[in-house]
């Protein structure tokens, strides 16, 4: 039996258990750094399958790794798993009309329930393959919490969790089947805490110093700053504490969170310093004080092309998820749940991906049943950010995308939550697990590929991973 047929057969035989795990994580819907049930479920499954589990990595209670070695233990292969949900995206499973499961509750609007379970399935499959075919190596499942929050992988990389690993694969739920050909933005975020002086806003406002005014002036300054940054840069903000709800009290404190993005960490650091100077100016104008609590930063993600060649080969062999007519109908109902603006954008993307001649066909059956070839020339900048980039600057790393939702689906929506516990997600997850497992097995047998992959990392990091956060910044377990 070939490695592809063995991988396909093993994951199909054990598919029920991995679907059960994905749906359990979906039901838990735990937020960043609080994924206690989800982490324990995966840890227990790893132990049940003979993995040695280490918990509480990098000072994060829900960060862990499960390792299994055979023979010489070389090469060392890694898989990344995520399992955090998003706030405010609770939704009933598989239902294409907005219907909250828990009012204002959390939901898996990015599909990390499937991500964590799919990588787990691949890890268990590779472990079983090593035993059956006496293949030397070590396979490690890295449980990585809080990707939707302040991230964990940069703290894990800084703590040396990925040291000694030869290569890492991961995946993400998507609308298309392809080796991800994006260069994601680096990002840095902090809370700006303004302190003023309270007073009666009607009788003695002149005795007060408004921290809220300082936040507002910071927003004005950053709005003017946007004209004078590179076009790819982004500046986001959100009020964390507006200083109270009484308008007749001058607010003596207020907190606003800013995040800045740019294609490279060096650009992010420069832009962040400019934002800090705007905050200083706002404090000066309002006679308040300001402090900056840096709490998150991700390095940019760039695909490792040596690993991409292997994963692209494996994806072609495994193929797209095997959709049924019921799946196509369900996907169409979700596509129709979007407004005209989203549909128009989706139609344009579908036409560009599949060709104008297939547009009507794909609108009737809006699921990706193709695999799209990877090309280094097609790598493009994407506005989003991920802490997977930090792993990629520590060890050769590659992300693949597999369809778990309808074409045109928008992430971080109730529609994504609903599809993340449906047949669409289940089939996509199992397909991803097969591709990941086969990619690890193939790469382990190709030392020349591992060598080329490491050369790419060396060219990017100069020989050592450098965390964008200083050692003084600890994981913001309760504050982000």
**Boundary residue ending a domain (297, 327, 348):** 297
Same domain? For 321 and 448 the reply is yes
pLDDT of residue 54 exceeding 90, the answer is yes
pLDDT of residue 159 exceeding 90, the answer is yes
Domain-located, residue 468: no
Same domain? For 216 and 341 the reply is no
Please name the residues in contact with 61: beta carbons below 8 A apart, sequence gap of 6 or more. Answer: 33, 36, 39, 55, 477
Domain-located, residue 466: no
Same domain? For 244 and 127 the reply is no
Q: What's the chain's average pLDDT?
A: 97
Other CB atoms within a 10 A radius of the CB of residue 356 amount to 9
Please give the backbone phi and psi of residue 347, each rounded to the nearest 5 degrees, phi first: -60, -40
Domain-located, residue 480: no
Percent of the chain with pLDDT over 90: 98
Same domain? For 52 and 162 the reply is yes
**Boundary residue ending a domain (297, 329, 347):** 297
pLDDT for 369: 97
pTM of the model: 0.95
What confidence category does residue 236 fall into, taking pLDDT thresholds of 50, 70 and 90?
very high
Same domain? For 149 and 174 the reply is yes
Domain-located, residue 409: yes
pLDDT for 458: 97
Same domain? For 177 and 199 the reply is no
pLDDT for 3: 96
pLDDT of residue 56 exceeding 80, the answer is yes
pLDDT of residue 80 exceeding 90, the answer is yes
pLDDT of residue 41 exceeding 90, the answer is yes
pLDDT of residue 68 exceeding 70, the answer is yes
Domain-located, residue 149: yes
**Boundary residue ending a domain (264, 280, 297):** 297
Per-residue pLDDT reduced to its tens digit, 282-337: 999 999 999 999 989 999 999 999 999 999 999 999 999 999 999 999 999 999 99
Q: List Cα–Cα distances, 445 to 51, 130, 322, 438, 441, in angstroms.
A: 22, 12, 28, 11, 7
The pLDDT of 57-68, averaged and rounded, is: 98
Domain-located, residue 472: no
Same domain? For 340 and 378 the reply is yes
Same domain? For 147 and 172 the reply is yes
Same domain? For 456 and 338 the reply is yes
Please name the residues in contact with 288: beta carbons below 8 A apart, sequence gap of 6 or more. Answer: 194, 195, 196, 209, 210, 211, 213, 214, 282
Check which CATH number belongs to the domain holding 63 and give it.
3.40.630.10
Q: Which residue has the tokens 């495994």?
A: 318
Domain-located, residue 478: no
Domain membership of residue 222 as a residue range: 186-297
pLDDT of residue 389 exceeding 70, the answer is yes
Same domain? For 190 and 293 the reply is yes
pLDDT for 251: 98
pLDDT for 480: 66
Check which CATH number belongs to the domain holding 240 and give it.
3.30.70.360
pLDDT of residue 158 exceeding 70, the answer is yes
Other CB atoms within a 10 A radius of the CB of residue 29 amount to 27
78 and 162 Cβ atoms separated by less than 8 Å? yes
Same domain? For 200 and 216 the reply is yes
Domain count, the chain: 2
Domain-located, residue 370: yes
Same domain? For 309 and 455 the reply is yes
Per-residue pLDDT reduced to its tens digit, 405-419: 999 999 999 999 999
pLDDT for 94: 98
């Amino acid at each position: 039996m070939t490695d592809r047929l063995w991988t396909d057969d093993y994951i199909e035989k054990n598919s029920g258990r991995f679907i059960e795990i994905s749906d359990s994580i979906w039901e838990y819907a735990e937020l960043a750094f609080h994924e206690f049930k989800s982490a324990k479920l995966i840890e227990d499954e790893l132990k049940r399958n003979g993995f040695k589990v280490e918990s509480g990595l990098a000072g994060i209670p829900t960060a862990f790794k499960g390792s299994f070695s055979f023979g010489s233990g070389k090469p060392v292969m890694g898989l990344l798993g995520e399992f955090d949900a998003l706030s405010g995206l609770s939704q009933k499973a598989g239902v294409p009309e907005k219907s909250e499961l828990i009012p204002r509750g959390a939901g898996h609007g990015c599909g990390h329930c499937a991500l964590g379970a799919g990588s787990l399935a691949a890890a268990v499959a590779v472990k079983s393959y090593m035993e059956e075919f006496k293949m030397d190596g070590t396979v490690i499942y890295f449980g990585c919490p809080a990707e939707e929050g302040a991230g964990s992988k940069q703290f894990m990389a800084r703590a040396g969790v990925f040291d000694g690993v030869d290569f890492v694969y991961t995946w993400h739920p998507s609308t298309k089947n392809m080796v991800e050909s994006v260069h994601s933005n680096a990002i840095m975020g902090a809370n700006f805490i303004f302190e003023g002086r309270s007073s009666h806003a009607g009788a003695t406002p002149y005795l007060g110093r408004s921290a809220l005014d300082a936040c507002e002036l910071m927003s004005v300054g950053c709005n003017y700053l946007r004209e004078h940054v590179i076009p790819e840069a982004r500046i986001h903000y959100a009020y964390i504490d507006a200083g109270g709800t009484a308008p007749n009290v001058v607010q003596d404190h207020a907190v606003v969170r800013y995040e800045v993005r740019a294609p490279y960490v060096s650009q992010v650091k420069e832009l962040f310093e400019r934002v800090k100077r705007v905050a200083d100016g706002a404090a000066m104008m309002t006679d308040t004080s300001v402090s900056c609590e840096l709490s998150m930063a991700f390095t940019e993600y760039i695909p490792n092309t040596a690993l991409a060649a292997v994963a692209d080969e494996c994806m072609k062999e495994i193929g797209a998820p095997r959709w049924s007519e019921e799946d196509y109908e369900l996907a169409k109902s979700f596509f129709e749940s979007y407004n005209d603006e989203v549909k128009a954008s989706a139609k344009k993307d579908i036409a560009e991906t599949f060709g104008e001649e297939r547009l009507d066909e794909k609108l009737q059956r809006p699921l990706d049943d193709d695999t799209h070839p990877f090309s280094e020339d097609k790598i493009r900048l994407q506005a989003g950010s991920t802490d997977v980039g930090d792993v990629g600057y520590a060890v050769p790393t590659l992300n693949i995308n597999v369809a778990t939702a309808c074409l045109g689906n928008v992430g971080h929506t109730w529609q994504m939550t609903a599809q993340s516990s449906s047949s669409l997600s289940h089939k996509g997850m199992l397909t991803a697990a097969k591709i990941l497992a086969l990619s690890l097995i193939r790469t382990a047998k190709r030392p020349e590929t591992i060598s080329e992959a490491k050369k790419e990392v060396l060219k990017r990091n100069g020989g050592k991973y450098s965390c964008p956060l200083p050692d003084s910044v600890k994981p913001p377990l309760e504050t982000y």
